[in-house]
Amino acid sequence: MKIVVTIPARIHLTLVELGQRGYRRNGGIGFALNAPSRRLEFEPAPERDVAALSNLGFTASEIDAIGSNLDCIRKNKIFRYSIRILVARGSGRHIGTGSGTGVTLACIEALFQVNDTQIDHEELICLSGRGGTSGIGIHTYFAGGFVLDVGRKYDANPIVSSDDVSVPTRIPKLLARATMPDWPMGVFTPACQPLTIEQERAVFASLKTQPLETSAVHEVAYHSIFGVAAAVSDADYESFCDAVNAIQKTAWKQREIQAYGQVVAHTITRMRALGCDCVALSSMGPTLFFLSAKIEGVLPVLRVEFPDAWIERTMANNSGREIRRA
């Protein structure tokens, strides 16, 4: 018996509430895409073997953390089998499309599947340890689509990335889910190096030394809810593009973009000039999401301008992960 899981990518447009104090903490908007997906094949095994995750760019310590969590779950549930990963294909780690969350959830779900045991979504999320900062990945994993989460109730804990939260105290609250329209879209991963964990931490650490003004938080909330979320609900392409472009200029997103120096900022400017109606850095990047009403003509132009980039046309995913027995 094999368990095959195909995991959609997720685009995280922005975190919302990163102010010094407010009603909530974090929150965000994003959606699922069919590509770049990851495909994992599992089989029952007497001892866990997830070494194949190195094919997706997971480090030895990341693989060990996932494996240790699987061992703990197996022991607590008194499962007969663990899992062995036979195949791990797809885009690499730390490019901004949600591999850490999607792969972790898939491994745990496969562990339950090989032991013929059902698990509800909330328990699976809790066991994964994911969703410490953003709820986009954990909520799009199951059903895809567009997601608006409002984070957790405000607390004074430091604001850090999801990779630095091993055991979230609360799952980010899902406020709204909507079908993502079938717009002409693509993904673009520049040839630059992804940020290291230390560089990502430095971006979040800047919130201590350079806290966001209340007006900056309100600005991103406005563009996220009255702009992006409303436009998705209305299938309003023009307003969606306007709001996505506006978000790139907000204070927090600018810090993420500027962490790459001028590379990502220049790429976004050129993509807009070459016919993209909107361009957005996904999470901490470096992957960019874009829309273009003339996408068939724009794609070859982008490939000539950026020959070393990975560029692919894709579609919205409104169904979530696909899991089957083979």
At 133 the pLDDT is 77
162 touches 101 (CB < 8 A) = yes
Query: Is the pTM here over 0.75, yes or no?
Result: yes
What is the per-residue pLDDT for 162? 65
Q: Per the structure block, which two tokens stand in for 208? A: 């201590």
Q: Write the CB contacts of 263 (distance below 8 Å, at least 6 apart in sequence).
A: 190, 192, 286
Residue 64: predicted pLDDT: 96
Q: What is the CA radius of gyration of the chain?
A: 19
- Asked whether the beta carbons of 30 and 11 are under 8 A apart, the reply is yes
- Domains along the chain with CATH numbers: 3-179+318-325 (3.30.230.10), 185-314 (3.30.70.890)
Residues in the chain: 326
Q: State which residues of the chain have pLDDT below 70.
A: 161-169
